[in-house]
Amino acid sequence: MPRTIVFLHAHPDDEAIFTGGTMARLADRGVRVVLVVATSGELGAINDSTDPHRLPEQRRYETDLAADALGIDRVVFLGYRDSGLPGDPANDAPGSFFAADTEEVAREVAAILREEEAEAIVVYDAGGIYGHPDHVQVHRVGVRAAALADVATVYQATVDREYLHFVETHLVDHAGASVPGLPTIGVPSVLVTTMVDVRSHLDVKRAAIAAHASQVPETSSAMTMPHATFADVYGFEWYVRNGPAGIIDELT
Lowest mean pLDDT among 57-66, 164-173, 174-183: 174-183
Among 230, 206, 238, residue whose Cα is nearest residue 13: 206
What dihedral angle (degrees, nearest 10) is formed by the CA atoms of 8, 160, 226, 215? 40
pLDDT in tens, 113-134: 999 999 999 999 999 999 999 9
- Please report, rounded to a whole number, the percentage of residues in the chain having pLDDT higher than 90: 91
pLDDT in tens, 178-198: 888 787 899 999 999 999 999
Q: Binning pLDDT at 50, 70 and 90, where does residue 49 land?
A: low
pLDDT in tens, 222-240: 999 999 999 999 999 999 9
- Please report, rounded to a whole number, the percentage of residues in the chain having pLDDT higher than 70: 99
Residues 251 and 96: beta-carbon distance below 8 Å: no
pLDDT over 80 (residue 52)? no
pLDDT averaged over every residue in the chain = 95
Lowest mean pLDDT among 39-53, 84-98, 136-150, 203-217: 39-53
**What is the separation of C-alpha 25 from the centre of its chain, rounded to a whole number of angstroms?**
16
The reported pLDDT for the residue numbered 24 is 98
DSSP 8-state symbol, 170: P
The reported pLDDT for the residue numbered 94 is 95
Q: Binning pLDDT at 50, 70 and 90, where does residue 15 land?
A: very high
Region 86-101: what's the mean pLDDT? 96
Query: Residue 77 forms beta bridges with which residues?
Result: 37
Region 26-36: what's the mean pLDDT? 98
The reported pLDDT for the residue numbered 161 is 96
DSSP 8-state symbol, 167: S
Region 157-170: what's the mean pLDDT? 95
Strand order in the sheet with 4-9: 74-80, 32-39, 4-9, 120-124, 153-158, 236-242, 194-197
The reported pLDDT for the residue numbered 3 is 98
| Sequential DSSP letters for 78-115 | EEEBP--STT-GGGGSTTBTTTS-HHHHHHHHHHHHHH
pLDDT over 80 (residue 47)? no
Region 24-49: what's the mean pLDDT? 93
pLDDT over 80 (residue 48)? no
